[in-house]
Amino acid sequence: MSTSIASRLAGLNPRQQQAVRYIDGPCLVLAGAGSGKTSVITTKIAYLVQECGMSARRIAAVTFTNKAAREMKERVGSMLKGKEGHGLTVSTFHTLGLNIIRSELKALGYRPGFSLFDPEDAKALLRDLMNKDAQVDADQINAVQHQISQWKNDLVLPGQALSHAADDDAQYAARVFEAYVRHLKAYNAVDFDDLILLPVVLLRDDPEALARWRRKIHYMLVDEYQDTNISQYLLVKLLMGERSTFTVVGDDDQSIYAWRGARPENLVTLGEDFPRLKVIKLEQNYRSTGTILRAANSLISNNPHVYDKTLWSQMGEGAAIRAVVNRHEEAEAERVASEILTRRIKESAEWRDFAVLYRGNFQARLLELKLQHYQIPYKLSGGTSFFSRNEIKDAMAYLRLLINPADDNAFLRIVNVPRREIGPGTLEKLANYASDRGSSLFAACHELGLEQQLPLRAVERLGRFSHFIDGVRRRMDQGDAIEAIRGMLHEIDYEAWLYQNASAPTIAERRMANVWVLVDQLEKSMNRDPEDTVSTETETDDVEAAISRLVLRDILEQQAEDDDSDRVQLLTMHASKGLEFPHVYLMGLEEALLPHRNAIEAGTVEEERRLAYVGITRARRTLTLTLARQRKTYGELMDCTPSRFLDELGELEWEGRADREDPEKKQARGQDAIAGLRSLLG
Ligand code: ATP
Ligand code: MG
């Protein structure tokens, strides 16, 4: 056995070793938080390559979030040497699906250069379709969008949806579903859920495609298996088939995506579908102190359980868990920020050792202001992501139109940005004309018949625009695609447009810089560093692939900033899954916030409890829970009730409850903060 893998294995406990070495059949590792499930996956990849001689190309490891995939990639990267990791897939489920779609375009009936619609694009399409019959409001559109997503996650196609529709509403939604699917196809576009659905349908119905992919992937590993939906489960099942060579790891107590179609019962289904399934349970937690673990176990024991798990830790008792009550939400944010500032110095910690978790992104706003005030570097995951900025959306629309001229949403976003005097009246006539002829807006710009519908000046303007885009496309095809894109941005003078529209020149400058960051990202993603042996994608990369990956990244809510920098992490509990931090702050432990109001009303508090369990088990050494006595809700200051979860955690060290805090202690803390600040400011 090679020494590196031998020493890796020796670092694992006997059950983990068993899970790594078991390669004869399907394997499920079922265990609580921090018990080393992800460690089993990463070590097993190295084991398969270094010990079993399997080519890394034949291995696919999948998980749910970009962050988790990146972490896994890093862990594996440190174990594999040189070319060993070449061609290995470590990605999100959706990226794997995107890769399958890209290489199976023909079999799927798509043309090259397809678009990936983000949820906003999809909504725009639904709005158009639904408004054809009658004026509908945003709630109705959202409801249908959610329903369609559920159907897709459950592998229900339009025909089935229609035949099973129980009432008028369901029938209506099913009809919209059918039209939606048809239009997406006409646009040569897929949506987020299609990234799983289309590969599943293809592999199910096309034996040749199935054979191709079974030859390609020989072993699959799935992290966070409890969050798979039916389509994702079928994807794994189809790919692995009879051979059933896979390892999945999960924890039913961490299932937090039921609202997105996740089926924790997939854990049980797995045993039924694969009777030879080997189930391995892990019980030692290597992450958290005894105190934190005890609180987590105590909390989750309030939920019913399919499998009983007992987690123990040898990390020592550690510090008490604090529950800090604040006057209002601003005081809460202030408290968290100033505490991080002082604790960083006192405990000689790094910024990156701290994570602040919350239920919803809106909770981060005040905190951001406070962190900025103290000049604490931080990184916000999700929320106002890089990709939600207007300038990035514009640039992305140009890119999307360049690779897929049938992308009407992209066309509409930028046909008049920068201003080309192409107004809504012209666009409406163009849209009618295009829809009569069943062509895209872009294609319609070229057509001669348009002259009967529109004044000559408008036709000329549209023609100029479409010729311009065609020209850029030609340059992209013939030479350096990135140079062509840079040239295009100069030619349209996007910078001048930003200056015209920004309230201050510095803002325009920053926005333009963002656009260049995007182009750089694109370039990087096309010319992947040859040293980077663990690649998440197939190797042949063109600009189209790079652009669709950017769109996917956008959907998966990732920021384009580098991740290794030393910053405090701000993230939702959902986004924190699989990660760990020495010091964790969990904010807003109040009824209606955690558990969320909707969950209380819908009777799904158990899922909220699992979410709190996920948050708490991210902490390695210290855990601080904060809450506010008053919080602004719908613009009004409302009294808050402490979360029921606080009572379920067992013993906590309270601060500020009913103002009972020892005044001396309070003063000492104030002085600590001042001293900390002084030393920081030199
Ligand atoms: P989660 O459920 O939160 O995803 P997990 O079960 O995937 O957690 P890991 O992230 O793999 O757990 O491991 C938690 C921590 O314990 C990591 O820091 C990991 O390096 C460490 N660890 C895992 N196994 C061992 C072991 N046998 N000995 C020492 N440390 C270990
Ligand atoms: Mg994990």
**pLDDT of 613-641, one tens digit each?**
999 999 999 999 999 999 987 777 889 99
- The interaxial angle of helices 505-526 and 390-403, nearest 10 deg, is 40
- Answer yes or no: same fold for 5-101+196-282 and 387-530+538-558: no
Given the DSSP bridges, would you call strands 27-31 and 322-328 parallel, antiparallel or unpaired? unpaired
In three-state secondary structure terms, 497 is helix
Identify the nearest ligand to the CA of 286 by its number.
1
- Maximum distance among all alpha carbons in the chain? 84
Report CA(533)–ligand 1 centroid distance (Å): 24
48 and 59 in contact (C-beta within 8 Å)?
Answer: yes
Mean pLDDT of the 68-79 span: 87
How confident is the model over 317-341, as pLDDT tens digits? 999 999 999 999 999 999 999 999 9
Model confidence at 510: pLDDT above 70: yes
Confidence of residue 31 (pLDDT cuts 50, 70, 90): very high
- Structure confidence at residue 541 (pLDDT): 59
Model confidence at 502: pLDDT above 90: no
Average the pLDDT over each of 187-201, 531-545, 596-610 and give the range with the smallest value: 531-545
Ligand 1, atom 26, residue with closest C-alpha: 12
Among 254, 286, 309, 315, name the best residue to mutate to test ligand 1's pocket (greatest count of ligand atoms within 8 A of Cβ).
286
Token digits for 15? 């059950």
- Structure confidence at residue 669 (pLDDT): 54
Mean pLDDT of the 462-466 span: 95
Token digits for 261? 């179609």
Q: Sign of the C-alpha dihedral, residues 191, 195, 201, 206?
A: positive
Q: For ligand 1, what atom is nearest to the CA of residue 282?
A: 6
Q: Which of 155-169, 383-397, 496-510, 511-525 has the highest mean pLDDT?
A: 155-169
- Structure confidence at residue 663 (pLDDT): 53
- What dihedral do alpha carbons 182, 183, 187, 189 form, nearest 10°? -70
- Structure confidence at residue 609 (pLDDT): 97
- Structure confidence at residue 560 (pLDDT): 34
Q: Does domain 312-381+565-681 have CATH number 3.90.79.10?
A: no
Token digits for 179? 């039209």
Could you tell me which CATH number the domain at 5-101+196-282 has? 3.40.50.300
Mean pLDDT of the 473-483 span: 91
Ligand 1 lining (C-beta closer than 6 Å): 11-13, 16, 31, 33-39, 251, 254, 286-287, 578, 580, 617
**Is 618 labeled as catalytic in the residue annotation?**
yes
**Is 44 labeled as catalytic in the residue annotation?**
no
Model confidence at 53: pLDDT above 60: yes
Confidence of residue 354 (pLDDT cuts 50, 70, 90): very high
Confidence of residue 1 (pLDDT cuts 50, 70, 90): low
Ligand 1, atom 4, residue with closest C-alpha: 578
pTM tops 0.90: no
Q: For the chain, which residues make up each domain, given as ranges?
A: 5-101+196-282, 115-187, 312-381+565-681, 387-530+538-558
299 and 32 in contact (C-beta within 8 Å)?
Answer: no
Could you tell me which CATH number the domain at 115-187 has? 1.10.10.160
Token digits for 369? 């202001």
485 CB-near residues (< 8 Å, 6+ apart): 398, 399, 402, 472, 476, 519, 522
How confident is the model over 527-568, as pLDDT tens digits? 754 444 444 444 445 888 888 877 777 666 543 344 567 899
Model confidence at 307: pLDDT above 80: no
Confidence of residue 507 (pLDDT cuts 50, 70, 90): confident
The ipTM of this complex is: 0.99
Model confidence at 675: pLDDT above 70: no
Rg (CA), the chain: 27
Q: Of 191, 194, 224, 590, which is the active-site residue?
A: 224
Ligand 1, atom 14, residue with closest C-alpha: 34
Mean pLDDT of the 156-160 span: 94
Number of neighbours of residue 469 by Cβ within 10 angstroms: 20
How confident is the model over 583-594, as pLDDT tens digits? 999 999 999 999
283 and 311 in contact (C-beta within 8 Å)?
Answer: yes
* Measured CA distances, 424 to 418, 420, 430, 500, 625 (Å): 15, 12, 10, 21, 51
- The reply to whether omega before 663 is within 30° of 0 (cis) is no
- Structure confidence at residue 116 (pLDDT): 85
Could you tell me which CATH number the domain at 387-530+538-558 has? 1.10.486.10
Q: For ligand 1, what atom is nearest to the CA of residue 285?
A: 16
How confident is the model over 382-419, as pLDDT tens digits? 655 566 678 988 999 999 999 999 999 899 999 999 99
Report CA(36)–ligand 2 centroid distance (Å): 7
- Structure confidence at residue 269 (pLDDT): 85
Q: Of 8, 15, 37, 621, which is the active-site residue?
A: 37
